[in-house]
Amino acid sequence: MLIDVKRAARMLKQYDDYLILSHANPDGDTLGCAYALCGILQKMGKRAKCLCADEVADRMKYLAEAIEVQEFEHKTIVSVDVADRKLLGALDKVYGDEVFLAIDHHGSRTEFAEFTLVEPDSAAACELIYEIAEELDVPLNDKIAACLYTGLSTDTGCFRFSNTTPRTHQIAAKLMEYHFPYAGLNYMLFDMKSKGRISLEQDVYDSMEFYADDKIALVCLTLELMDRHSGSVDAEDFNGIAGLPRRIEGVELGVTVKQKEEKVFKISVRSSEKIDAAKLCEKFNGGGHARAAGCTLEGTLDEVKAMLLPVLMNAIDNCD
């Protein structure tokens, strides 16, 4: 059942002993939501704890400072920024059936909770947690503000992307009235790169292929290449590569071909406004968003490229 912020706030006030679930491969928004909501509930005198199937990256460990670790038997499960119970990862089996309240901002989702608060126009689910705190009239503190700010900034590429709204900036302004090292956090979240990541990017740029008058840039992350770097980079670094080809001036289609098994490749497509990446990937039974989509292809790398390239070239031919 769909509910609004007011009702969600009333419910959170009514119940107790909360277990808050983040999605697997956690990002700044799902973690920011979880720790902020947990901190807010604890400030209300309730018991609350957070759980995620996967480990929190080192550079996001500061988020946990917003809460006090509490041991208790949970009674009420809330999920944050989870669009589908499968995205709970290993926690789906244990808790996927029992989610009481889902708080989310994804436009396309499958319902799994008893009650759902979803606002697809919110840039980050953290915007909803902020609104819930306002509705509950619970003042934040510096650590909770840092959590909510992290969700806002990570889901919008630090206020860069098209999902950013006036409301996002308004909330950021309110959060910045608290004291937390936002510039240091942004440096860590957006600017800092490990030496391993730089070496990976070097390799990626060296092997980048260009087609259609440099309007298509294609990167192949083969098992061999990933193996070579696996000691010095993490999964997030490999995922981050998908954004690189499209950042090159003049490139309309940035494509990353990532080898999953000997003959299985995951394709990630990023596009300019001129091309619908989702429609393009649908031709290969994939999908996603207009500017970022994906699909899976089987065959050798050469076979996969031979399937992909004519479709990409055709999209370029028809885009002007």
Q: Which residues of this chain interact with its own copies, rule CB under 8 A? A: 157-162, 164-170, 172-174, 176-177, 182-184, 186-187, 190-195, 198, 202, 205-206, 214, 247-249, 273
Q: How large is the greatest C-alpha to C-alpha distance in the chain, in angstroms? A: 62
73 or 206: CB nearest its own copies:
206
250 or 299: CB nearest its own copies:
250
The nearest distance, CB 141 to its own copies, in angstroms, is 17
What DSSP string runs through 154-181?
A: HHTTTTTSTT--HHHHHHHHHHTTS---
The nearest distance, CB 180 to its own copies, in angstroms, is 12
171 or 304: CB nearest its own copies:
171
The nearest distance, CB 12 to its own copies, in angstroms, is 27
206 or 262: CB nearest its own copies:
206
User: From CA 269, how far away is CA 243, in angstroms rounded?
Assistant: 9
23 or 270: CB nearest its own copies:
270
112 or 149: CB nearest its own copies:
149
The nearest distance, CB 30 to its own copies, in angstroms, is 21
The nearest distance, CB 187 to its own copies, in angstroms, is 7
Pairs from 197-204 (Cβ < 8 Å, separation ≥ 24) = 197/233, 197/237, 197/240, 199/229, 199/232, 200/229, 200/232, 200/233, 200/237, 200/238, 200/241, 201/241, 201/244, 203/228, 203/229, 204/241, 204/244
If DSSP codes are grouped into helix, strand and coil, which group holds residue 273? coil
Q: How far is CA 11 from CA 57, 72, 135, in A?
A: 31, 20, 12
The nearest distance, CB 20 to its own copies, in angstroms, is 27
If DSSP codes are grouped into helix, strand and coil, which group holds residue 97? helix
**Measured torsion, CA atoms of residues 158, 159, 163, 166, in degrees rounded to the nearest 10:** 150
The nearest distance, CB 192 to its own copies, in angstroms, is 5
Sign of CA dihedral 78, 76, 142, 187: negative
CB 97 within 8 A of CB 122: no
User: From CA 11, how far away is CA 264, in angstroms rounded?
Assistant: 46
72 or 161: CB nearest its own copies:
161
